[in-house]
Structure 1
Amino acid sequence: MRLDGKVVLVTGASRGIGLGIVERFHEEGAIVYAGSTSNPSGVYPDGVTGITLDVADEAQWKTAIKQIVEARGRIDCLVNNAGIAVYDGVADGSTENWRKVIGVNQDGVFFGMREVIPHMQKEKSGSIINISSIWGKAAVAGAHAYHASKGALVMMTKNAAITYVKEGIRVNSVHPGFIDTPLTQAQDPAINEFVIGMTPMGRAGTPREIANGCLYLASDEASFVTGAELVIDGGYLAQ
């Protein structure tokens, strides 16, 4: 039980990587709150608490963290997983799409860290895990706002790690490669074929493989790890 009794909030938790993290953390004894815009019933394991959370909405963040802290007295770990992708390039990108992607992928992480860090400071302990992407470190054509937002998470993570390291708070980023999720299943098959074809292992990853990496970062086993970039991509970025 590597997370026994730890109070955790996972965003974007209703499917894909988020749901995989919820399930894995629950298996290891965490007290898990699963945040999503849909907050679907019947999806989460027994004992997991679903909460409605649009990460781009500051007010919903305040409500969610207040709910958790009032119920449990603290929050030990935040996994900023919620994210969206739009495949516009710079020249054909709309302001609406840009702001939507940045609002979820970047603003949402800022709001989340801002809300939980004061509670972690009181406990002199905490782990924040920001889910970035291989496309926060390398580019493909299009997806300009997605690249910008996921790249920003790298430095947002490192800054928070250094700023709060003396207060027992660890902040790390995770960079998944191509993962088989409802999000990737719904996008253009040509994109999927391209990325899998560029992956040395020749296959998609699974949400559980990402969750296993997050489990390590959330646990006390990673007590000397902060500001790190954990790449889980089947060798994509090694090329």
Structure 2
Amino acid sequence: MKEQWLQCEGTWFVGVDALPSTPNGAVGGVPLQGPALERIGAREDLHPAQLSITYPGYPRPRAGENEAAFRYRRNRDAAHMDGLLADGMPKRRFLRERHDWILGLPLTETSVGASPLVVWEGSHHILQGAMIDALGNLPEALWPETDITDVYQTARNTVFKTCRRIPLFTRPGEAVLLNPFLLHGVAPWEAGTTASLDGRMVAYLRPESRESGAVWIRQK
């Protein structure tokens, strides 16, 4: 798995579906439970959890990443909205995954500066509005092939100018539940930060929405 998923010169493990969790979120017979589950409700269609692990020195350039992309990773926390996938040369963005929510479960103890998750307060309103403007009047079947790069980048720049950037320091036993339209990223690893050899490890669940596109894109 490290050969496949260890990126950024060994400072980031981006293990998509790497944790052997069950469709209801259990691991090793231990169920997914707690206030977050009470909020989202029980599910039986969850994918194996993604493992995001950062190590001291993050970020380093990712293989195939140009200088501009690396600067964005370093200076803007690689901020993104999930589900907008890059395709083609040059890369363009398309909405090809629709998530109900993003649930982050921290698995290791670290000090504050260990590449925390970063969110932009209120950004989901701006990005959702941009998605509605770009796709809301199109048949859902056309969404995956509709280029939304320019609309997305304009909305993202508005977020950077108007929304407060908030690093979220978390510990095992806590959970983070994100709106699917929220702009979020990973902060650089700060000098002097302490962590075990396991690094800063978070398990993420982000199930595909069972709602129609018309309902999903206008959700409250």
Q: Same fold (TM over 0.5)?
A: no
Bigger relative contact order, structure 1 or 2 (CA pairs below 8 A, ≥6 apart)? 2
Relative to total residues, which structure has the larger helix share, 1 or 2? 1
Relative to total residues, which structure has the larger strand share, 1 or 2? 2
TM-score (norm 2): 0.28
TM-score (norm 1): 0.27
